[in-house]
Every structure is written in structure tokens, then in C-alpha cells.
């Protein structure tokens, strides 16, 4: 179907006419063979842009997200869970190094939960004051 035909069908739909959708299937033009497509499918170390361990921390975390499907927390069973790198190196995505933990268990394991609670206690009076401050409320 050429561009003119698509535009004509689009305008007809906009006018409210009942225009059937295009038939599903391959688009017209050159179709590559299955063998050719499989040759181009390269992942991981076989891909020409593979960087191995010379990646950023963010890339390591992305690999963990792609490589390990979601699972319940190993400590409390809550979903959704995060991928926790036991040795602290997000570039190391070996199965022994990746654990599934919920946000709370992950923060507790890293030692961030106590810091977060301390910060929340310190900011609680400020938040309460800002909420009930007479100058902020409309008169």
C-alpha cells in the first residue's frame, strides 16, 4: 500500500467512514531470509559492540535487569524486588552475586535504612511546621 492509499484511508476514517484495517502480514518489499536474520542476531560477547567488563555502573545494573527476570524478595517474599549485588560491584552479574531483595530489605542490607530513618526523624518537625504554617495556608 503506497503513501497515497494510506492517506486516503486515514482521511476516510477521520470522516467516520468504516474503513477496514490493513491486512496483517509482511510489508511489501525485500524480505530477508531466516538464515540471514539469524546471522545478524548476536548478543553478549558475540556482538561487535560488546564491551565486556569495561562498562559503566549503570550499564552493569541494566544488564542485571535484563538478565534476571523479577522474582520475590529472598528475605520477606514481597514483590516487586530489586537486584542486589552481594559484592557491591554492579558489573559482576554472575548468578552467585545477584540476589533478589525488596526495597526495604535492600536498604537494610546496605546499611542505608538506618540513615534514611534518622534523616526522616530530623526532617519530621520541619515537614509538620511547613504543613501547618499560617503564612502558607490561604486566608
In 10 A of CB 83, how many CB atoms?
A: 20
- The answer to whether position 30 is within a domain reads no
- Residue 88, phi-psi category: left (phi > 0), alpha (psi -120 to 50), beta (remainder): left
Containing domain of residue 97, as a range? 56-129
The pLDDT of residue 138 is above 60: no
- The answer to whether position 78 is within a domain reads yes
Predicted confidence (pLDDT) per residue in 52-80, tens digit:
878 899 999 998 999 999 999 999 999 88
- The answer to whether position 48 is within a domain reads no
Instruction: Provide mean pLDDT across the span 35-64.
Output: 85
- The answer to whether position 41 is within a domain reads no
- The answer to whether position 7 is within a domain reads no
Give how many domains the chain has, as a whole number: 1
Predicted confidence (pLDDT) per residue in 4-20, tens digit:
888 999 999 999 999 88
- The answer to whether position 13 is within a domain reads no
**pLDDT of 52:** 82
**pLDDT of 135:** 59
- The answer to whether position 137 is within a domain reads no
CB 78 within 8 A of CB 72: yes
Amino acid at each position: 500500500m503506497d503513501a497515497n492509499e494510506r492517506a486516503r484511508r486515514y482521511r476516510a476514517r477521520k470522516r467516520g467512514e468504516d474503513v477496514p484495517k490493513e491486512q496483517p502480514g509482511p510489508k511489501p518489499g525485500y524480505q530477508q531470509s531466516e538464515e540471514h536474520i539469524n546471522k545478524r542476531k548476536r548478543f553478549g560477547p558475540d556482538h561487535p559492540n560488546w564491551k565486556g567488563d569495561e562498562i559503566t555502573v549503570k550499564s552493569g545494573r541494566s544488564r542485571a535487569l535484563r538478565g534476571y527476570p523479577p522474582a520475590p524478595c529472598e528475605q520477606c517474599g514481597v514483590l516487586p524486588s530489586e537486584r542486589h549485588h552481594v559484592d557491591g560491584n554492579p558489573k559482576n552479574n554472575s548468578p552467585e552475586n545477584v540476589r533478589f531483595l525488596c526495597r526495604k530489605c535492600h536498604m537494610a542490607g546496605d546499611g542505608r535504612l538506618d540513615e534514611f530513618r534518622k534523616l526522616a526523624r530530623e526532617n519530621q518537625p520541619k515537614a509538620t511546621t511547613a504543613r501547618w504554617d499560617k503564612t502558607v495556608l490561604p486566608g
